[in-house]
Amino acid sequence: MKFIVSSSSLLKQLTSISGVLNTSSNLPILSYYLFDVSDKKLTVSGSDLESTMITQIELDKADDDMKVCVPAKLLLDMLKTFADQPLTFTIDAKAFGIEIGSDNGKYKLAGVNGDEFPRLPELESSTKLKIESGTLFNAINKTVFATGNDELRPVMSGVYFGLEKDGITFVATDAHKLVKYHRSDCKSSKSANFIMPKKPLNLLKSLLVNLNTTVDVEYNETNASFVFEQYTLVSRLIDGKYPNYEAVIPKENPNEMTIARDPLFK
């Protein structure tokens, strides 16, 4: 099969999801991208088993549907050497060999059967809500820095999402500092809570920084997904009970200080 794609578009989208890759894993397949060609669209997935990031690219031309795993680092290094130009990918359906035709010549990579790539979990009995991208970016930006790194207390290595009918609360703590960030302009149809790991939140943050869109959030007891524009992120949630953060926030503290933001920042 063959498909044609812009080298600059492909590099941009592959780079945007490359942070999810785990190059030190014992599973070699996790150092590959999954290329899934269907209906003249290329869907690219990267995964570390805990989180999966997906992006879509419109193709200039595709003559068939197919899945193949492509070595991520080799492909990224190759694309960085190209000026903007159309690239022709030719895939051997039996041996999964990949030939890339460019203005500079032809390049060959050894691919892997796409069926070996980890499958996305299905979110059964899930709940959905919508959050503005700016709201979610601010929530992550103001909390994720306060998460901990203690492997003995994994619940503190993520951000707590408390979903209520009157708003959403985001909490992070490492047992030394605590941040609570509440938004009343986004609400859930029913009360629930979950703990998102730090790594996928930082990946989300990097993608949301300059966007003005709506994020579709779906979650159940084990996984959560975030869908916006051409991106999808699916992450396994941290299992455990989050500490009672309200107990350490003073309720009747008579001591208050007001200071301008800029002098304090300096």
Question: Would you state the torsion angle of the CA atoms of residues 49, 131, 165, 182, taken in this order, to the nearest 10 degrees?
Answer: 90
pLDDT, tens only, 1-42: 889 999 999 999 999 999 999 877 788 999 999 999 998 899
pLDDT given at position 249: 86
pLDDT given at position 155: 94
Burial track 8-33 (b if 16+ CB lie within 10 A, e otherwise): ebbbebbebbbbbbbeeeeeeebbbb
pLDDT, tens only, 78-109: 999 888 899 999 999 889 999 999 888 888 99
Domain 127-248 classified CATH 3.10.150.10? yes
Residue 117 · residue 129 · CB < 8 Å: no
Residue 213 · residue 228 · CB < 8 Å: yes
Contacts of 206 (CB under 8 A, 6+ apart): 16, 19
> Structural domain boundaries of the chain?
2-116, 127-248
Strand order in the sheet with 223-228: 112-113, 66-71, 32-38, 41-47, 51-58, 231-236, 223-228, 214-219, 127-132
Q: Which architecture, in CATH terms, is 2-116?
A: Roll (3.10)
Contacts of 101 (CB under 8 A, 6+ apart): 87, 88, 89, 90
Please report the DSSP string for 163-201 in residue order: EETTEEEEEEE-SS-EEEEEESSS--SS-EEEEEEHHHH
- pLDDT of 177 > 80? The answer is yes
pLDDT given at position 83: 86
- Alpha helix (H) ranges present in 42-181? 72-79, 133-143
* CATH topology agreement for domains 2-116 and 127-248: yes
Indicate the pTM of the whole model. Answer: 0.90
Rounded-to-integer distance, Cα 46 and Cα 227, Å: 15
Which of 18-22, 49-53, 103-107, 157-161 is predicted with the least confidence, judged by mean pLDDT? 103-107
- pLDDT of 46 > 80? The answer is yes
Task: Please report which helix (H) or strand (E) contains residue 90, including its range.
Answer: strand 86-91
- pLDDT of 187 > 80? The answer is no
